[in-house]
Amino acid sequence: VLRRLKRLIKPRMGFMTTGAAKRLAGVTMLIGAIAFGLPGPPGNNIPPAICITILALGLLERDGLTVIIGHVLTIALWLTIIVVIAFFWHLIEPYLSPILD
């Protein structure tokens, strides 16, 4: 597995692994860690862990493309979380409106 990863992850797009981009990756990891801590069914920690791992691998190997993929996956993760929360809120809101009014 590591040999295959080494072939895929190599130093490129160095501007994504230094300076402000490196700090942005850190903030993105923090946001992924917040998603990691959200309650949910068993296995809900796997997607945030994958996002954080991809970002960390990109930073460790100085691979800007991998860092970009990690950012995109984290954005997709949060969009999915928002859609799921909105969907379930839409389902339970009629039952909660008498209580909340």
Residue of 100, 81, 86, 93 lying closest to 35 (CA atoms): 81
Give the tens place of pLDDT for each residue, 61-92: 999 999 999 999 999 999 999 999 999 999 99
Q: Does residue 44 contact residue 38 with C-beta atoms inside 8 Å? A: yes
Burial profile 69-78: b = 16 or more Cβ within 10 angstroms, e = fewer: bbbebbeebb
Give the tens place of pLDDT for each residue, 90-99: 999 888 888 8
Residues 6+ apart with CB under 8 A from 55: 25, 28, 29, 32, 66, 67, 70, 71, 74
Phi then psi dihedrals of residue 57, to 5 deg:
-60, -40
